[in-house]
Each structure stands twice: as structure tokens, then as C-alpha cells.
Structure 1
């Protein structure tokens, strides 16, 4: 598993109150999906169940300090009795995840909180993501946050904290995970995948928006190949619609939503490249097509979000930028 970045400030914000013995009982880990909030929650949980009641020794430690060896082995095996993890479950006879974290899951967690600690000084509840709670489950969680058991820490992962009950947010200390600066992301990704060409690294970083998890997903989606396909449409015009139809197939359907988002992320950089390469008087059409693509995506989000339609229309916009000899009739 790749080491995530962008956690330094959050780690410091957690370790300081732990060291002083004034650790808040509930933490809301808020930020874009893909920032590694779940990984950070797992590090905090492991740290607490492998360390003493408070920061004996004074100096702040790293969350990756090994602590108690026996407890650490249990965590690594996924068997530590004092770590409770709530997430959406796989449906019966299906590989799909349930729509929500259910009230029954929350009630089961609450029952476990009434038991005495069997190992160590802390119990940790990780809810990933708290956005997925059913309404009844959110209300049940709120009651527990209002009267928390001693030596119990709640880590609530949220991709959309504005959608949570205000009363839940008010019971938590908020740790915000912000997108990582472009230079830092570039250096991290280059170190992580040194076999990638630097031009490809920069394209991935630009498309990721500073979100490390998204950058890793983009690598797996093969950004360079997709860029070449889009560029072929923009330079050749795709007279027989073959490339546009192939693009529509690749990004259509629910299972290909990530690939469609990749295309949408790549297009601004591709258009910027085309604009740089063209005479000043030919830049306006490039900007016009970018406006058209934005309208297409916006309208699709408001409607049924037909990925194939969006992909084909993006292809149409790019094809119109091709030299006139290569454009197809539409």
C-alpha cells in the first residue's frame, strides 16, 4: 500500500492533545475523497490501542511508532478487540455494497461500547464514511457522542461534512484534509512511480486536483493512452466517427464512471496544450470548445448522466478543432 501524503498537519493536531492528556473524544476527518482519511483513521486507531493512556514520556511521537508489540500484531491481523469499524456491508448474494450503514450496525457498535475493555487502555470506533449512515443510525450515533463512554475515541470519516447533522459536527473536533500542492504531489508521485515519464506525471498531477488517491487511480487508468486517443480526435478529426464511438463505449455505463471522470479531467490540459501550439488568432475556437464541454458535463450531471453521450459529445468538440481537411461532417 502506497504511503499517503498530506497528513502532517492532521497528525500534529492529533498528537499534541494526546501527549497532554486532553484528547477530544470525537474527531471528524473531513476532505475530498481520496485524501487518505481512512488510512489516517487506521493509523490513529493502531496508535491508540498500542500505547498508554496518555503520552507518558512527554515528547510527541509519530503515529507510526510501533508501541506494544502484541497489540500491534493483533491490529495487523485485523483482530484487535478494541477497534470497531463501521462501513457499508456487501449485500447478500451480491458483490455490491449496501446503500447505507444501517441502524443495526450502529446498535451493534453501541452494545460493544457497554463492555469493559479487554485489552489496552483505549477503544476506537472508525466510521467510514459517516456520510453513509441511515437517518436513524445518525441519530443513534449522536446520542452516543453526547454521552461518550470513557476511554473511547470516535473517528468519523466524511467526504461531505456539510451534509451531516449539525449536532454531530458540533460534537467533533474537525481535522480538514486539504488538496496537496502541485510541486509536492509531483515529487511524491515521481518517487513512488519512477518509471513514469515526467510529462505523464505532470498530467496525472494536474488531473488529480491535489488528491493523492485520485492520482493513484489515474495511473491505473493509463492517462497517457487516453490522452493519445483524445489528441488523435483533436488533430485528425475522426472523419468516420470510429474514435468517438470507441470513446463513448469506454466511458459509458456505471462501471466506467471513473474513466469518464478521467476524460473530463484530462481535457482542460489537452485544450491548453492545443492553445499553446496555435497562432494567437486560432485560440478563441479552443476556448469555445472548452465552454461547450463544460456545458455538456453540467447538463449531464443535472440529468441522467449518460456517460456514453458525454464521451461522444466531448469527442465532437475535439473533432471540431482538427484542421479543416481532417474534420468530419456532422
Structure 2
């Protein structure tokens, strides 16, 4: 596989190139399969949706299927009911080993210091031209996966655009995006859009069982909001426990259990940035729900909007200046108690 470089897996999640299990997006899978076997598949697809729900997994799944079955009119393709390719198929092994000559993957790469770059470099994006200009290694399709197109800067986006504008025959692009509405119009207009929704709880549970071999807690599935990566991240760190503590405190409002609040503040003071963000997300979700409920009461809505601004400004300052988080928690819940009592 021609690709930019290896990206380390995060939170123990197998890379999409290694993932063969697929749940919850059967309609999107069917859309790609039907388009391929029609013989008139669009050459570029923008696969959009929230982070961690399987967009890249679907892109690699489609890539394996096309590379394994290069003739869309073949009996195998015409009778297929999914994009599954057997784990012992040669294409599956080549893609997993990053050695298939007809697949180019653009993604953020590691710097010389070992840190993941914040963007896809223009030098990597320029590899698309050479890749498309060469003869397909196995005489079939050439496929480019960009994971994610959101990580392109202006220069690398322009380099990719040249390939999108006039691709050779039997070329497919799959552009993964967490915010497809923000993708450059020049790129978006050349792609057929495929939107994936967050995984339903049942599908998320199946993915987690396949990934961990364990039965996930219902509360964990609810907190993950349809994202596999979010669920695995929560299950492996203190963020989920802190979220549960926060939710318990929010449920008591306007009453406050000071002993439990001290415990929450003490735990949060030692937690990482991810756990801090999870706690603040829970607080903001509570405020959002209250605001929607009290929207017709202008005075109450104004109070909630002011509290929202105060809480988030204080949280941002705490994060930027590395301030003690404990006072923030006490002040936040005091304001929330006032809002709940009003």
C-alpha cells in the first residue's frame, strides 16, 4: 500500500485498515455496493459524520471489496449482500499490512520528534499525482483514502484537488470528514456525499463486544453518544467515573451533596484534560436542557445564558492558565443550584 506514514492506534482501537467487523451502517454500505455494481459509481465520495462512528472503517471496507472484486459485473459482486471480504483473502492481508500497491492512504504522519502532526502535509498530498499516473499494480482499480479531509491545509487540499478534478479511469476517492459542511466547496462539489449517523446503542454494543470481548455497561454506551472511540476512551480512563459523579450531582440540583462535590473536585484536580472536558460537557448538556425547557421565560433564559457564559469562560481560563480546578467546580455548582432553584 502506498501511504504517507504509519499513524499509531489510539485507545487500543484497531486501525480501520485492520477492522473487518462492521455494524450499524447497513444502509450506507448498501449504497456503496449498489453504486459499484451498477457500473457507474461516482469516482469520489465524501463520507461524513461524527468522530469514531465507523467512517474510515467503511472506506477501508469498500476499498478491500473493490480491490478483491475489480469487475463490478462479476457474479460475486452482483450477488453480494455486503462489502465483506474474508479475513484470509490476499487483499485483506495486504491492506492490513499497508502493502497493497493500488491503495494510497493520506493521513497525518509522525514528525521527527515522534509527535502526530496537526495537518496532512502537502508533500504527502502530492503523492496522489504520482500514484494516479502509475499503472495499477494488479491491473484493476486505484483507490485513495483521505482520513480525514478535515486535516488538509490549503496547500495539501489544492494538491488533492488536482487528482479529484481529472482522475484516470477506474479510480476511486474516499474522503472521510468529521464536519463535511466545512470541507472546501471545490472539493465538496466533486464528491458524492454519504452521511453516516451516530451508531444506535445496539450496534455500538456489538462493536464494543467485538473489540473488547466484554459486555459494555449500559451507562457507558449512553455516555459514548454513538462513538466507538469515545466509548473505548471512557472505559479505559477516569473520565467515565468522573462523568458519572458529575451526572449524580446534576441530578440532585438544586440540592448539593458537599461531601460528594469535594470528592468530585479532588478527583478532577488530578485528572487529565480529556476527563476535564467530559465533566464540562456534562455541565453544558445540563444547561442546554434547562435552557430549552425555559426558553419562553425570558428572564430565566437570560439567567441561564449568563451562567453558561460564566462557566465556560472560567473553564477556558482554568484550562489555558492551568489553574486549580477545584474552585471552578464549587463555583459552577453554586451557579447551577441557583438556576435549578429559580
Regarding TM over 0.5, the answer is: yes
SS at the partner of 1:144? helix
Q: Which of 24, 35, 42 in structure 2 is aligned with 1:17?
A: 35
Contact between 1:17 and 1:23, CA under 8 Å: does it hold in 2? yes
Structure 1 residues not aligned, in runs of 5+:
251-255, 272-286, 323-330
How many residues were matched structurally? Answer: 299
2:329 to 306, 314, 324: 314
Does the C-alpha gap of structure 1 residues 41 and 300 become closer, same or farther in structure 2, counting only changes over 3 Å?
Answer: farther
Residue correspondence of structure 1 range 74-85 to structure 2 within 5 A: 74-85=94-105
Preserved CA contact (<8 Å) 1:29 1:37: yes
Distance of 1:311 and 1:202 partners within structure 2: 29
1:178 counterpart SS class: coil
State the match for 1:59 in structure 2.
79
Aligned 8 A contact 1:4 1:212 in 2: no
Distance in structure 1 (CA, Å) of the matches to 2:227 and 2:261: 37
SS of match in other structure, 2:126: helix
Q: Please, what TM-score do these two structures have when normalized by structure 1?
A: 0.75
Please say if residues 242 and 275 of structure 2, whose CA atoms lie closer than 8 Å, have aligned partners that are also in contact: no
Alignment partner, residue 47 of structure 1: 65
CA–CA distance in structure 2, aligned partners of residues 194 and 178 of structure 1: 25
Partner of residue 203, structure 1: 219
**2:24, 2:200 within 8 Å by CA — same for their partners in 1?**
no
* Number of the residue aligned with 2:6: none
Among residues 30, 40, 51, which one is paired with 1:33 in the alignment?
Answer: 51
Aligned residue in 2 for 1:325: none
8 Å CA contact retained: 1:204, 1:218:
yes
Quote the residue 1:282 is aligned against: none
Q: Which runs of 5+ in 2 are unaligned?
A: 1-13, 288-300, 338-342
Moved more, 150-159 or 133-142: 133-142
* Alignment-derived partner of residue 299 in structure 1: 313
Q: Output one character per residue of 1:92-143: Cα deviation in whole Å (capped at 9) or x when no partner.
A: 1x22111211111111221121010111411111111111112022122122
Write the distance in 1 (CA, Å) between the matches of 2:284 and 2:100: 47
- 1:215 paired with 2:234, answer no
Q: What are the Cα deviations for residues 162-214 of structure 1, in whole angstroms up to 9, with x where unaligned?
A: 222112111101110112334554576578768557xxx33223322222332
Task: Give the root-mean-square deviation of aligned CA atoms.
Answer: 3.8
**Change in 2 beyond 3 A, CA 1:193/1:210:** same
- TM-score, scaled to structure 2: 0.73
**Structure 1 pair 310–8 and aligned structure 2 pair: CA distance change class (3 A):** farther
User: Aligned to 1:155, what secondary structure does the other structure show?
Assistant: strand
1:308: Cα distance to partner?
5.8
Deviation at residue 31 of structure 1 after TM alignment: 0.7
